[in-house]
Amino acid sequence: MTRMIVLLLGVALAVGSTHGAALDSEPNQIGSCYDSHTNCDEFASYCSDPGWLDHMTKYCAKTCGLCDGGGGTGGGGSTDGDCNADISSNIPQGSCGAPSTSPMQSSYIVGGKEATPHSLPWQISVQTPSGFHFCGGILISANIVITAAHCVKRGDNIYVKAGAHSKSSSSDGQRYKVQEIIQHNEYNKPRSLNNDIAILKIGGSGIRLDSTAMPACLPPACHEWALDTEFIVSGWGTLYFGGSSPDKLMQVTVPIVEHGKCARQNSFSASWKRVVCAGLDRGGKDSCQGDSGGPLVAKYNGRWTLAGVVSYGKGCAMANYPGVYTHVSHYIEWINQNI
Ligand code: 4AZ
């Protein structure tokens, strides 16, 4: 059945391009925002299929949100192929995103500053049994921590440290053994580092929540961050590529980078909406090695909300190479299904 639909889609679009019979205008140019094919609604599920990217960009740019300059932002409330906006999170978060000490909002991990202790209480350090920090994580409920898929694999013997400012001090924060690791089932598909997200489950009553350990809120499913969004990214990662890493938690404020531009800069397909990018054109502020798996947050309805998971980038803080973050709003359904 699926094969038949694929074949039909091919024929329908090919007929459209050859004879113009099914077209109500000229084929679309990348950058203009309309559908030139009449049946794009029917074919919306192909918007996120890399094999159909060229066809969909040409004929169904509007439906697929493949327009330059804004087709992919500011929306919400619709289904965009890889994301169902009609669902809401069923994760019991309690109080989230409202630290008792507010984080600094105009500060600068590369190009950053030491955070005010416990002002980013959702920050987790993911550690080996001996206490070596190797990745960040994000507390989203007492029993659930989100991290990057590239940080972990099923069966690893790992710990999370919550409520810490110092990654090493045993008198700062609480350490818990991870009971179960769920890597995204499509991690590294269709391309390396795609779907770079994992769930770490903490057993029993989970992490003791207090003013030092509090979840970040989850965004509405499929939420797109406005083009004037300023994020905070935090972690104990290196202070420059190949550099040393600090013992105290660092943070930096970084602006969003428009999706199409980031796709060109980092050589991924603009149809891949499951990442969000942040950084400065001139570089200088970024996440770096050891920050992976950690939080990219922004305020949403007055609460600090998880926008991204530190995933990758070319080096750190280089001009025109923004950091690339797993776009959490596109994984709400996956999170629901895996907790
Ligand atoms: C890393 O290796 C890493 N600048 C994390 C983030 C970035 C680069 C590298 C983004 O963990």
Of 292, 327, 329, 330, catalytic = 292
Ligand 1 binding pocket, CB closer than 6 Å: 286-289, 291-292, 310, 312-313, 316, 323
Ligand 1 centre from 291 Cα, in Å?
A: 7
Q: How confident is the model at residue 8 (pLDDT cuts 50, 70, 90)?
A: very low
pLDDT at position 107, please? 52
Alpha helices in the chain (DSSP H): 2-19, 53-59, 61-64, 259-265, 332-338
pLDDT at position 150, please? 98
Show the tokens assigned to 73.
Answer: 């932002």
pLDDT at position 81, please? 64
pLDDT at 74 over 80: no
Ligand 1 centre from 173 Cα, in Å?
A: 25
pLDDT at 22 over 80: no
pLDDT at 169 over 60: yes
How big is the CA angle at 206 (ends 204 and 208), to the nearest 5 degrees? 130
Per the annotation, the verdict on 118 as an active-site residue is no
pLDDT at 49 over 60: no
Q: Which domains does the chain have, with CATH numbers?
A: 2-69 (no CATH), 122-202 (2.40.10.10)
Which atom of ligand 1 is nearest the CA belonging to 237? 11
Distance, CA of 13 to CA of 39 (rounded, Å):
9
Q: How confident is the model at residue 92 (pLDDT cuts 50, 70, 90)?
A: confident
Residue corresponding to tokens 């794009």: 40
Model confidence over 54-71: pLDDT tens digits?
Answer: 444 555 455 445 544 333
Which atom of ligand 1 is nearest the CA belonging to 290? 11
Ligand 1 centre from 112 Cα, in Å?
A: 15
Asked if 27 and 20 touch (Cβ cutoff 8 Å), the reply is no
Per the annotation, the verdict on 196 as an active-site residue is yes
Average of per-residue pLDDT across 11-25 = 29
Ligand 1 centre from 324 Cα, in Å?
A: 8
Average of per-residue pLDDT across 237-263 = 97
- What are the C-alpha distances in Å from 113 to residues 117, 212, 310? 12, 19, 18
Mutate to test the pocket of ligand 1, among 254, 316, 325, 326 (most ligand atoms within 8 A of CB): 316
- The contacts of residue 276 (CB under 8 Å, 6+ apart) are 225, 256, 259, 296, 307, 308, 325, 327
Per the annotation, the verdict on 54 as an active-site residue is no
Ligand 1 centre from 183 Cα, in Å?
A: 19
- The contacts of residue 258 (CB under 8 Å, 6+ apart) are 69, 73, 227
Average of per-residue pLDDT across 125-133 = 98
Asked if 217 and 305 touch (Cβ cutoff 8 Å), the reply is yes
Burial of 21 per CB tally in 10 Å (0-12, 13-18, 19+): exposed
Which residue has a Cα nearest atom 11 of ligand 1? Answer: 289
Of 35, 196, 286, 291, catalytic = 196
How many Cα neighbours within 13 Å face the side chain of 45?
5
Asked if 249 and 293 touch (Cβ cutoff 8 Å), the reply is no
Residue corresponding to tokens 């500011």: 74
pLDDT at position 276, please? 98
pLDDT at 23 over 60: no
pLDDT at position 94, please? 83
Torsion of CA 203, 207, 208, 210, to 10 degrees: -160
Cα-to-chain-centroid distance, residue 1:
33
pTM exceeding the 0.75 threshold for the entire prediction:
yes
Asked if 307 and 328 touch (Cβ cutoff 8 Å), the reply is yes
